[in-house]
Amino acid sequence: MSLLEVRGLTRSFYGVEALRGVDLDVRERTITGVIGPNGAGKTTLFNCVSGLVPPDTGSVVFAGRDITGWTPDRVTQSGLVRSFQVARGLPQLSVLENLLLYGDRQPGESLSLALLRTPSAMRREEEVRRRALAIAARLNLTRLLNNAAAELSGGQKKLLEIGRALMANPKLILLDEPVAGVNPTLTNEIGAHLRRLVAEGMTVLLIEHHMDTIARLCDPVIVLAEGRRIAEGSFAQVAADEQVQAAYMGRRRWAS
């Protein structure tokens, strides 16, 4: 069954067509990869799916609900969470505080209720704290809990970014370049974490330029070029696809 169904998604910026009618499905419990040359529209796709940028036309259906045009908050609360290419969060705060920051609201809970220090609000705070500690433990961040986020290595920041997303209890997690600039050891570790999450029932959609990671983790792999989906299949299939090769070659010629 498809957890995410994107149909006919288009989006232009000042006449530049970043997405030109993208259709794609993300099946439950897969790690689906999105690749494509720079400027292909990958980040715009994530922005439109996660509510950051409204699409011009087309639809996004998540877990059977049409979420097209929903605000990012509402999308998050529905169980679809994204991370960013450049880690967000507050650098001055500790790892634990960064995790707590993103676990303070559950689906259906209003902010005013969360601010009242009623017994149930306090129980809830305790529960969020427990969840933050559990997530830190599973991502091997426990020994860094009291470090400021700014002090983390690039790879550890990526892990924190994943942890932050997990705090929202997502069904689907969108990761924009989760191993870019990360050393090989931590890259493998991040891959193992993602596999484990999927084994436990989660679904992952990720953008990545690091082809080894895509080859090892992702099935299927979707290829975007110039705002269109030009191929989909196993990594071996898309890597052998002439249109895909041409898209990458063409870009390289332009870029150099």
Ligand X SMILES: Nc1ncnc2c1ncn2[C@@H]1O[C@H](COP(=O)(O)OP(=O)(O)O)[C@@H](O)[C@H]1O
Q: Name the site residues for Mg ion (rule: CB under 5 A).
A: 42-43
Q: Provide, rounded to whole angstroms, the least separation between the CB of residue 60 and ligand X.
A: 16
Q: What tokens were used for 31?
A: 């790690």
Q: Provide, rounded to whole angstroms, the least separation between the CB of residue 176 and ligand X.
A: 8
Q: Provide, rounded to whole angstroms, the least separation between the CB of residue 212 and Mg ion.
A: 19
**What is the C-alpha to C-alpha distance for residues 138 and 144, in angstroms, rounded to an integer?**
13
Residue 42 or 157: the one with the smaller Cβ distance to Mg ion is 42
Residue 44 or 76: the one with the smaller Cβ distance to ligand X is 44
Residue 115 or 211: the one with the smaller Cβ distance to ligand X is 211
Residue 43 or 78: the one with the smaller Cβ distance to ligand X is 43
Residue 136 or 205: the one with the smaller Cβ distance to Mg ion is 205
Angle (CA) 93-99-100 rounded to 5° is: 90
Q: CA dihedral defined by 19, 21, 27, 28, rounded to 10 degrees? A: 60
The one of Mg ion, ligand X, none whose footprint includes residue 55, by CB under 5 to 8 A per kind, is none
The one of ligand X, Mg ion, none whose footprint includes residue 229, by CB under 5 to 8 A per kind, is none
Q: Provide, rounded to whole angstroms, the least separation between the CB of residue 225 and ligand X.
A: 9
**DSSP code per residue over 114-162:** HHS--HHHHHHHHHHHHHHHHHHHHTT-GGGTTSBGGGS-HHHHHHHHH
Q: Which residues contact 236 (CB under 8 A, 6 or more apart)?
A: 215
* Cα of 111 vs its chain's centroid, Å: 25
**What is the C-alpha to C-alpha distance for residues 113 and 109, in angstroms, rounded to an integer?**
7
The one of Mg ion, ligand X, none whose footprint includes residue 39, by CB under 5 to 8 A per kind, is ligand X
Q: Which residues bind ligand X (CB under 6 A)?
A: 13, 16, 18, 36, 38-44
Q: Provide, rounded to whole angstroms, the least separation between the CB of residue 13 and ligand X.
A: 3
- Where do the H-state alpha helices sit in the chain? 42-50, 72-77, 95-101, 111-115, 119-138, 154-166, 184-199, 211-217, 235-240, 242-255
Residue 21 or 39: the one with the smaller Cβ distance to ligand X is 39
Residue 38 or 146: the one with the smaller Cβ distance to ligand X is 38
Q: Provide, rounded to whole angstroms, the least separation between the CB of residue 253 and ligand X.
A: 17
The one of ligand X, Mg ion, none whose footprint includes residue 58, by CB under 5 to 8 A per kind, is none
16 within 8 A of 214, measured Cβ to Cβ: no
Q: Provide, rounded to whole angstroms, the least separation between the CB of residue 86 and Mg ion.
A: 10
φ and ψ of 146, to 5 deg: -95, 0
